[in-house]
Amino acid sequence: MALPDILDRCPKCDRPRFNRPHTCTTPWEVRDLEEDGGEWTLLYEPTAEDAAARFVAEDNAACSEYTTWRTVAVRRFGETAEAVAYEVELEMTPIYTARRARNQEIINREN
């Protein structure tokens, strides 16, 4: 069962508001350049780089497929500024998890 979201998120940019006055971060539009006719996705992030990285992270999570290198286009939302291409690289990091060993007899072998 999922825990309820207690952070009071902004319905527009999805950032925590903590029940205080809030200013949304910068709106960007991001599109996958490797997908023909890919639609622009609106994302609120501080920088174009953050928007590009979040776009790829959310797309990877949605299809459970982890591409390590993607090229996307980013443009400021609501402006006529030209889109800029960004290369997004995914770096896999190892996760180490310790569990109590089932066989504790192994300890005696050391002595």
Question: Which residues would be at the binding site for Zn ion (CB under 5 A)?
Answer: 10, 12-13, 24
Residue placing its CB nearer to Zn ion in the complex, 51 or 88: 51
CA distance linking residue 71 with residue 65, whole number of Å: 16
Q: Toward Zn ion, which CB reaches closer, 10 or 83?
A: 10
Tell me how far apart the alpha carbons of residues 109 and 111 are, in angstroms, rounded to a whole number: 6
Shortest Cβ 42–Zn ion spacing (Å): 12
What are the Cα distances from residue 66, in Å, to 9, 61, 63, 73, 88?
A: 28, 8, 8, 19, 12
Query: Would you say 9 or 31 has its CB closer to Zn ion?
Result: 9
Give min distance, CB of 56 to Zn ion, in A.
22
**Minimum distance between the CB of residue 5 and Zn ion, rounded to whole angstroms?**
15
